[in-house]
Chains A and B, each alone.
Chain A
Amino acid sequence: MRVVAAMSGGVDSAVAAALAVEAGHDVTGVHLALSPDRQQLRSGSRGCCSVEDSHDARRVADELGIPFYVWDLADRFREDVVEDFVAEYAAGRTPNPCLRCNEKIKFSAVLDRARALGFDAVVTGHHARLVDGELRRSVDAAKDQSYVLGVLTPQQLAHAVFPLGEMTKDRVRELAAERGYAVATKPDSHDICFIPDGDTRGFLTRRLGEQPGPVVDAATGATVGTHAGVHGFTVGQRRGLGVTAGDQRPRFVLGIEPVSRTVTIGTAEQAEVSEVVTAAPTWTGPVPELPFRGQVQVRAHGAAVPCEVTPADGGGLRITLGERQRGVAPGQSAVLYAPDALRGDRVLGQAAVSATA
Chain B
Amino acid sequence: MANHTAEHELKWHTSYWPLIMSVGILFFVPLAFVFYFVYENAFLTAISLGIGAPLTLISIAGWIREGFEDIHGYNQGLSVWAMPVFIVAEALLFAGFFASYWVLRLTAPVWPPLGTPHEMPFLVPIMMTIILVTSSVTIHMAETMLEKRKDMNWFVIWLFITIILGVVFLGLSVYEWIELYHEGFTLSTNVYSSSFFSITGFHASHVLVGIGIFLCILVPALGGRANLAFVKSASMYWHFVDIVWLFVVSQLYFWK
Do A and B make up one complex?
Answer: no
The residues of B with any CB-CB pair to A shorter than 8 Å are none
Which A residues contact B (CB, under 8 angstroms)? none
